[in-house]
Amino acid sequence: MSCTTILVGKKATYDGSTMIARNDDGFFEEKKLIVVDPAKQKRKYVSKISHLTIELPKDPLRYTSTPSVSPKRGIWAANGINEANVGMTATETTTSNPLVMGADPYVVYQERKGKKKEVPGGIGEEDIVVLVLPYIRSARQGVERLGKLLEEYGTYESNGIAFNDENEAWWMETIGGHHWIAKRVEDDEYVMMPNQFGIDSFDLDDAFGEKKKHLCSKDLKKFIKDNHLDLNKGKVFNPRYVFGSHSDADHVYNTPRSWFMGRYFNPHTYKWEGEGADFTPQSDDIPWSLKPEKKITVEDIKYVLSSYYQGTEYDPYQKADQVKKGLYRPIGIARTGVMAVLQIRGYMPEKLKGIEWICFGANPFNTVVPLYTQTDRMPKYMSDVTMDVSTDNFYWSSRLLGALADPHFGTCIQIIERYQFAVASQGHQLLNEYDSKMMKSKDYSFINEANEKICEMARKETGDALSKVLHDASAHMICNYSRADK
């Protein structure tokens, strides 16, 4: 799926946690937040898309998941934090090029036809979280487990996957059908990923040596050499040149998103606009990672992943420049199903380390709600979602809010901004309150109470915002009429 991902190292965040986040930009996919009990984790996994059967280990961990409500296309778990406090978001669709695909084609499902037997495909976004997250105890282990699965079964698409634990964040990208590459995010840096093969420097000596910060498929050097893939001319090995795309489409769909994120987090490090700009929305060499000019908060991540190029001439809601408005694919897009910021707080007790900040629907108009992940259930406001539209849950309320506010942006945006601020502020307040309460008492049974209280707050604020936006939208309906109208 077309998505946008951010990873932040622990020295680049406001509190020393690691954070990874991704917009899961599907097809207006209905989503929910649940907890998967190890007893209900199947020992044999069957993929809907590729018809692949995989035997799973016998000792799964409990984990949170944001699966699709409808099972017809598979689970699509998307994001989660497991009981070992490891976070994972998968996957972001990335790009490749004909040289790579000719050397290692995707493993695509082949239907049975006549005497020709059915041939299963590889693994993909539908499957990856379920196959990996319940069985890992560190971010590095996540890369290693998925790497083995890719080498054995292959994949039918090009994907990027993020992992984090309390100390490290890792980014992994698939290469063709069976190959892969992964790099540890520097502690004082953040990473920008907009649907494009991203890693722009890689130490192959480390990957085939000590493996401190670089990992890859075991035959990657030979694969590159045998297929004449290395397009680099200098000493630095740039995987983006070798494995990525180099298309005009990137300049309207992908690179502008990196440009906006870099412009937000590093406004003075580079010149982003005007004559002599270091980077423009169409630059192919925007860095994969940077040291931010200030420490990054959850709200910063939410703001950037909600971006529609506000404050620039590309803002689709502006009334002025009709030539450039809406020119580039926004980060906060209408079809987002779920966005989760997976925060692992290493300074907290084990039961309180994992916080999943969750929101559903179009990010410019929704808000993000924090929930403790070391629990056996999520509040019904998050988990009890059906295909029927209902304001009894956060998913449909968020979708309704966005659909109503969007066509009345000018009059509704103030309501939305106040709503977003209120929920974020009260979310932090309730986390602080329950963090303190549980740390003092060493009684972590309050986690469910805390999550329920946070969801009740979110329900109240969302209902209030929805009521106000509905009133505004009703007042601006085209069929409005009064005998006093002129």
Contacts of residue 390, defined as CB under 8 A and 6 or more positions apart, other chains included, come to: 396
DSSP 61-106: PPEEE--BSS-TT-----EEEBTTS-EEEEEEE----HHHHHHS--
Which residue's entry shows tokens 């490290």?
Answer: 168
On whether the CB atoms of residues 363 and 304 are closer than 8 A, the answer is: no
Q: How many CA atoms lie within 13 A of 43 on its CB side?
A: 4
For the question of residue 359 being annotated catalytic, the response is no
What's the CA gap between 152 and 148, in Å, rounded? 6
Q: What is the DSSP letter of 358?
A: E
SS3 label, residue 45: strand
Residue 192's H or E segment, with its range, is strand 190-193
Q: What is the largest CA-CA distance in the chain?
A: 81
Closest-CA residue to 134 (of 68, 246, 57, 223): 57
Point out the residues that are catalytic.
3
